[in-house]
Amino acid sequence: MNKSDSGRRVRTTLIAYLFLAPALGLLAVFTFYPVIFGTILSLFEYDIINPPRYVGLSQFQRLLVDRYFWIAIANSAKYVLVVPVIQLGSILLAVLVNRQLRGIKAFRAAYYIPVITSWPVVGIMWTWMYDQQGIINYMLQSLQAIDRPISWLSHPTLTLYAIMFVTMWKGLGWYMVIYLAGLQSIPAEYEEAAMVDGASRARVFWNVTVPLLRPYILLASLVSTMAALKVFEEIYVMTRGGPFFSTYTMFMYIFDEAFQELNMGYASALAVVLAAVILVFSVINFRVFRRGGLEYY
Amino acid sequence: MRKVAIYAALIAIAIFMTFPFLWTLLVSLKTRGPIFSIPPDLWPSPLSLANYVGVWETLPLPRYILNSLQITFIGVSLTLLICSLAAYPLARLQFPGKNLVFYAIIATLMLPEHIGLIVNFITLTKLRIVDTFASVYLPSLASIFGIFLLRQAYLSIPQELEDAARIDGAGDMVIWWRIMLPLITPALATLAIFQFVAFWNSFLWPIIILKTPDKYPLAAGLLYLRGLFAHNTRLIAAGTVIATVPIIIVFLFTQRYFMRGITAGAIR
Q: What is the pLDDT of residues A78-112, one digit of tens each?
A: 999 999 999 999 999 999 999 888 889 999 999 99
CB A255 within 8 A of CB B115: no
Q: Do B89 and A297 touch (CB under 8 A)?
A: no
Q: Which of residues 60-79 of B touch A (CB under 8 A)?
A: none
Q: What is the pLDDT of residue B114?
A: 81
Tell me the residue range of the domain where B154 lies: 60-230+242-266
Q: Do B219 and A120 touch (CB under 8 A)?
A: yes
Does the residue B50 lie in any domain? no
- Per-residue pLDDT, averaged over B190-195, amounts to 91
* Helix, strand, or coil (residue A53): strand
* Helix, strand, or coil (residue B49): coil
Q: What is the CATH number of the domain that holds B249?
A: 1.10.3720.10
Does the residue B133 lie in any domain? yes
User: In this model, does residue B33 exceed pLDDT 80?
Assistant: no
- Cβ contacts below 8 Å, chain A against chain B, sum to 292
CA distances to A63, A86, A116, A173, A212 from A97, in Å: 47, 16, 19, 11, 18
B230 touches chain A (CB under 8 A): no
Does the residue B155 lie in any domain? yes
User: In this model, does residue B267 exceed pLDDT 50?
Assistant: no
Helices A119-129 and A135-142 meet at what angle, rounded to 10? 40
CB B50 within 8 A of CB B32: no
Does the residue B44 lie in any domain? no
CB A119 within 8 A of CB B203: yes
Mean pLDDT of chain B: 87
CB A169 within 8 A of CB A114: yes
User: In this model, does residue B268 exceed pLDDT 50?
Assistant: no
Residues B222-249: pLDDT tens digits?
999 888 887 788 888 999 999 999 899 9
Chain B CB contacts of A16 below 8 Å: 89, 93, 95, 98
Q: Do A23 and B243 touch (CB under 8 A)?
A: no
Best residue in B6, B41, B114 for a mutation probing chain A (most A CBs within 10 Å): B114
Does the residue B160 lie in any domain? yes
With a pLDDT cut of 70, the percent of chain B lying above it is 92
Q: Do A169 and B16 touch (CB under 8 A)?
A: yes
A109 touches chain B (CB under 8 A): yes
A28 touches chain B (CB under 8 A): no
Calpha distance A207→A199 (Å, rounded): 9
* Helix, strand, or coil (residue B264): helix
CA distances to A18, A88, A211, B19, B124 from A195, in Å: 57, 22, 16, 36, 60
Residue type for position A259: F
Chain A CB contacts of B222 below 8 Å: 118, 120-121, 124
Q: Which of residues 251-280 of A touch B (CB under 8 A)?
A: 251, 254-255, 258-259, 264, 267-268, 271-272, 274-275, 278-279
CB neighbourhood size of A5 (10 A): 8
Alpha helices in B202-232 (DSSP H): 204-209, 218-228
User: In this model, does residue B163 exceed pLDDT 50?
Assistant: yes
Alpha helices in chain A (DSSP H): 3-27, 33-41, 58-64, 67-79, 82-97, 104-112, 119-129, 135-142, 159-184, 188-196, 201-204, 210-212, 214-229, 233-238, 250-255, 264-288
So where are chain A's domains? Answer: 3-58, 66-288
Chain A CB contacts of B147 below 8 Å: 23
Does the residue B30 lie in any domain? no
User: In this model, does residue B42 exceed pLDDT 70?
Assistant: no
User: In this model, does residue B266 exceed pLDDT 60?
Assistant: no
Give the total number of structural domains in chain B.
1
Q: What is the pLDDT of residue A2?
A: 57
User: In this model, does residue B188 exceed pLDDT 70?
Assistant: yes
Span A66-288 CATH architecture:
Orthogonal Bundle (1.10)
Q: What is the pLDDT of residue A295?
A: 38
CB B172 within 8 A of CB A60: no
Among the residue ranges A95-104, B118-127, B249-258, the one predicted with the least confidence is: B249-258
User: In this model, does residue B57 exceed pLDDT 90?
Assistant: no
User: In this model, does residue B63 exceed pLDDT 90?
Assistant: yes
List of residues 6+ apart from B187 with CB closer than 8 A: B149, B150, B152, B153
Which region holds residue A240: left if phi is over 0, alpha if psi is between -120 and 50, else beta?
Answer: left
Q: Where are the beta strands (DSSP E) in chain B?
A: none
Which residue ranges of chain A lie beneath pLDDT 50?
1, 291-297
Q: What is the pLDDT of residue A24?
A: 95
Could you tell me the pTM of the whole model?
A: 0.89
